[in-house]
Amino acid sequence: MGTDKRGLVFTGTDDAGVEQFEAALEWIFDYRPNAMEKIETILEAYPEFVMAHILKGYSIASEGRHSSLVKVVGVLNAIESLHVKANSRERQHISALQAYQRGDIKAALEVWAGILNEWPLDLVAFRQSTGNLFWLGERQRLVDTAAKIAPHWREDTPGYGYFIGAFSFALEEIGEYGKAEEYARRAVELNPADVWAIHSLAHVLEMNARTDEGIDWIESRREQLPTHNAFVGHIWWHLALFHLEQGNIDEVFSLLDEHIYPEPSNFYLSVQNGASLLKRLEFLGINVGDRWQRLYEGVKDSYGDYIYLFTELHSAMVLHRAGDKEAISSLKHGLSNPNALRYPFENGISQQLVTGIEAFENGNFAHAASLITPIRYDMARLGGSHAQQDILHQYLINAEVQQGHLETAKGFLKERVSRRTHWDLAPEIYLKKHAEIERLTLSGEKQALNQLLRRVF
């Protein structure tokens, strides 16, 4: 047995193996490339290291596709004989991985919650929990998960930066921007390579329209970022949003073509980044050339396979823009399949949104609005941050504008502003934007609307 820096006991290894395990964790939490190689090296030296097997399973599952979950079966088979030797915490992780492999992430979340109740310093359970809560749209539970174990974490607790970095993002998603910024900056001070904390502060700056600061925050790390894995594309996406808000369209295209989606990829986050950015540009009346085709090459063999339904909404955008009606029909059929490893409520919302996106892209704006309007406050259940979800609200706003429903569009724009501002704490900001929205007219709304859609504040 071995013990980590936080006092957790591990079976099938010794202290030297635990040190390697912690180094692999840090590599993963920093979103460094080729983490699986480090895990395999540990398992070669310690084939009965239960948590190393578990970490391998979690890493495979993080690919975000149902087809990847099939590969987790091999990991579970490898640790079947180790179950008796495993300690209570490790057996619970095995149960969580089994649920994850079945596609029952909600069941896995309850297991991780139980682990944290008993072992609040288990960073693996914490990061698995918070990552998946995010993709199920559980924003308040995201905060509660961190808050309930926060008293056990102190500045001198090893891994403290990774804890507050994740806590920061949870706080940002419920609008607690001050504390979120404080935690994010402290996490980056402790570890400049903490990409999740860098990402969290980018969200804070985005939601508060601090675009100049946002550009500086990411640009100052331009040389560092290429050392990280595919997640780094999402950081570049944030930089592109800041430039879009500033009207720097050439810079947006440069980031898209060089960093965000330079070549066809089916990685779920890359699909989200590329599709949402292209659609934002199109909503502003900007010609994006043949870039949708590049995304289509990445998506055409992977749509319908994504674990996180938020990705399938972006698959729908890509398939529509590529004109693949057969693929759209197949995607809709798959989402309506009651045997799919998905949850009925969330699956129902995704079906309605995919149909709404289809209607919009086909020019049936009234039908699109009728589908999206009643579920606009349920869309968060499909995961994605406020910044990411915004593209869905833009579909709705533009559907109403296309119909000439100015007052309805204004109402949705006001709702959009209120999501990003505590109007009662900063009424002057809210009222200024409110007045700007009120001035929109049907005769000259396009330029003014584009400005509002580019910059929320």
Q: Given this model, what pLDDT does residue 60 score? A: 97
Instruction: Let me know whether 18 and 125 are in one domain.
Output: yes
Calculate the dihedral angle through the C-alpha atoms of 31, 37, 38, 39, rounding to the nearest 10 degrees.
100
SS3 at position 306: strand
Domain that holds residue 50: 1-134
Same domain? For 106 and 159 the reply is no
Query: Which of residues 209, 229, 260 is at a domain's end?
Result: 260
Question: Quick check: is 193 in a domain?
Answer: yes
CATH code: domain of residue 108: 1.25.40
Q: Which of 260, 280, 314 is the last residue of a domain?
A: 260
User: How many angstroms separate the CA atoms of 402 and 396, rounded?
Assistant: 10
Domain boundary among 217, 245, 260: 260
In contact, 25 and 123? CB cutoff 8 Å:
yes
Q: Which two tokens stand for residue 340?
A: 């799919």
Number of domain units in the chain: 3
158 and 129 co-located in one domain: no
Instruction: Please report, for the chain, how many H helices and E strands are present, in that order.
Output: 24, 2
Q: Please indicate, yes or no, whether residues 6 and 129 belong to a single structural domain of this protein.
A: yes
pLDDT at position 337 is: 81
pTM of the model: 0.95
Dihedral of the CA atoms 378, 384, 387, 389 (nearest 10)? -40
Residue 87 lies in a domain: yes
Q: Domain check: are 93 and 165 in the same one?
A: no
Q: Assess if residue 36 is contained within a domain.
A: yes
Both 17 and 102 in one domain: the answer is yes
**Claim to verify: residue 39 and residue 130 sit in the same structural domain:** yes
Tell me: do 3 and 97 sit in the same domain.
Answer: yes
Is position 231 within any domain?
yes
Q: Is residue 268 part of a domain?
A: no
> Which residues of the chain register pLDDT less than 70?
338-340, 421-426, 442-448, 451, 454-457
What pLDDT does residue 286 have? 94
252 assigned to some structural domain = yes
Amino acid at 101: Q
State whether 128 and 30 are in the same domain.
yes
At residue 444, the pLDDT reads: 59
Rounded Cα distance between 376 and 374, Å, is 6
Q: 297 lies in a domain?
A: no
Give the Å distances, CA to CA, from 28 to 39, 58, 125, 420, 433: 10, 11, 14, 31, 41
- Do residues 245 and 168 share a domain? yes
226 neighbors 32 (Cβ within 8 angstroms): no
- Domain at 159, CATH number: 1.25.40.10
Give the contacts of 182 (CB within 8 A, at least 6 positions apart).
168
* 193 and 244 belong to one structural domain: yes
Residues 1, 129: one domain?
A: yes
Q: What is the DSSP string of 3-58?
A: E-TTS-EESSS-HHHHHHHHHHHHHHHTT-S-HHHHHHHHHHH-TT-HHHHHHHHH
3-state secondary structure of 442: coil
What are the tokens at 169? Answer: 């993002």
Question: Considering the domain boundaries, does residue 333 fall inside one?
Answer: no
